[in-house]
């Protein structure tokens, strides 16, 4: 698919510890082309943020997921780890609570 190249780029950026570039590709480049990121795209970006202790940027990724109606448990866990490693556990708890509330509302 058209996302294959972006998945590779994001994994490469993650391994190279280039969290800023990963965030730009996920949040700006991919949407500009009219594509929707998938689980692998989100995961690579969250891991890049986690490994670099830049979890403060994780809410931007969560917001993007929320706007697209995308919730994947592994991605959520990776985002939570990114926040927690940056000592932002309260924010992680808040985001997770909101996701659960939204999930319940979608099934009622």
Contacts of 88 (CB under 8 A, 6+ apart): 55, 56, 58
> What does 3-64 look like in DSSP terms, one character per residue?
THHHHHHHHHHHHTT-HHHHHHIIIIIHHHTT----HHHHHHHHHHHHHTT-GGGHHHHHHH
Residue 41 CA to its chain's centroid (Å): 8
Find where tokens 């924010």 sit: 91
28-60 confidence digits (pLDDT tens): 999 999 999 999 999 999 999 999 999 899 989
5-23 confidence digits (pLDDT tens): 999 999 999 999 999 999 9
**Residues of 27-42 as b/e, b for ≥16 C-beta within 10 angstroms?**
beebeeeeeebbebbb
Name the residue among 83, 50, 69, 37 with its Cα closest to residue 9: 37
Give me the percent of the chain exceeding a pLDDT of 90.
52
Is residue 105's pLDDT more than 70?
A: no
């Amino acid at each position: 698919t058209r996302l294959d190249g972006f998945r590779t780029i994001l994994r490469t950026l993650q391994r190279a510890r280039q969290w800023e570039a990963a965030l730009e590709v996920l949040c700006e480049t991919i949407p500009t082309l009219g594509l929707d990121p998938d689980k692998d795209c989100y995961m690579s970006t969250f891991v890049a943020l986690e490994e670099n202790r830049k979890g403060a940027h994780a809410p931007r990724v969560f917001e993007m997921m929320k706007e697209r109606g995308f919730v994947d448990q592994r991605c959520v866990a990776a985002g939570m780890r990114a926040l927690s490693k940056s000592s932002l556990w309260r924010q992680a708890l808040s985001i997770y609570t909101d996701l659960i509330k939204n999930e319940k509302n979608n099934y009622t």
